[in-house]
Amino acid sequence: MDAMEVILTRRSVRKYTNKKIPGNLIKQLLETGFSAPSAGNQQPWHFVLIDDVDILNKISEKHKNAWMLKDAKIAILICGDLSLESHKGLWVQDCSAATQNVLLAARALGLGACWVCVYPREQRMDTLKDLLKTPESVIPFALISLGFTEEKQTKKNRYNDSRIHHNKW
C-alpha cells in the first residue's frame, strides 16, 4: 500500500482479533515514532510498551475512552520528557508527530490502531504516571491501542473546500 492510500484510509480501530503482534512489527512501529520530525531535532519522547493485561484493564477502567484496551494486544504510550526539550513547549507538537507516524505505520502494516487522548487531561496523566511509575519530568501524552483487526479501513471523502483560504481569510 502506498503512502497516499495509508493516509487516506487510516481510521480509528477499536476492535481487535486475538492474534498476537510479532515483535518485529512493534519495532517497526517504534522506528517510525523515532523518525518523526521534532523542533530542533530535540526528540523529547519516550515510548512505553504496555502488553500486561492487568495494566491494560486498569487503564480501561480508569479512562472512559480507553475501553478498547481490554481487547488490544499491546498499547504504546508516547510520553514527552521535559528534561530533553530544548525548545520550550514544543514537545506537544513533537509527540503529536510521533503519534501520527505510529498510527500511519500501523495502517501500513495491516494493524488496527486508535489514538487515545491522555494529555492535557490531568486525571488521565496522573493515572498513567502512577500505574507506570514514570519519572517526574515525563508527561504521558497519548496512548495508541493496537491489534490485528477484521475491520475494513476505507477512504472517506473529508476534503472540504470551505475550509481552504488563499492568502487571507
**Which CATH number characterizes residue 99's domain?**
3.40.109.10
Let me know if residue 79 belongs to a domain.
yes
What is the pLDDT, as a whole number, of residue 52?
Answer: 97
Domain that holds residue 30: 17-151
Q: Is residue 161 assigned to a domain? A: no
**CB distance 81 to 28 below 8 Å:** no
The number of domains in the chain is 1
The pLDDT tens digits of the residues spanning 6-37 come to: 999 999 999 999 999 999 999 999 999 999 99
What is the per-residue pLDDT for 70?
94
- Asked if residue 131 belongs to a domain, the reply is yes
How many angstroms separate the CA atoms of 85 and 64, rounded? 31
In a domain, 8, yes or no: no
pLDDT given for residue 9 in this prediction: 96
Size of the chain in residues: 169
Which pLDDT does position 33 carry in this prediction?
98
| Confidence at residue 166, expressed as pLDDT on a 0 to 100 scale | 95
Please check whether residue 106 lies inside any domain of the structure.
Answer: yes
How many angstroms separate the CA atoms of 105 and 111, rounded?
A: 9
Point out the residues of the chain with pLDDT beneath 50. none
Residue 5 falls inside a structural domain: no
Residue 168 within any structural domain of the chain: no
> What is the spatial distance between Cα 90 and Cα 84, in angstroms, rounded to a whole number?
11
Q: What is the pTM of this model?
A: 0.96
**Distance (Å, rounded) from C-alpha 37 to C-alpha 43?**
8
Pairing of strands 138-148, 45-50: unpaired
Q: Where are the beta strands (DSSP E) in the chain?
A: 45-50, 74-81, 111-117, 138-148
Query: Does some domain include residue 92?
Result: yes
CB 38 within 8 A of CB 94: yes
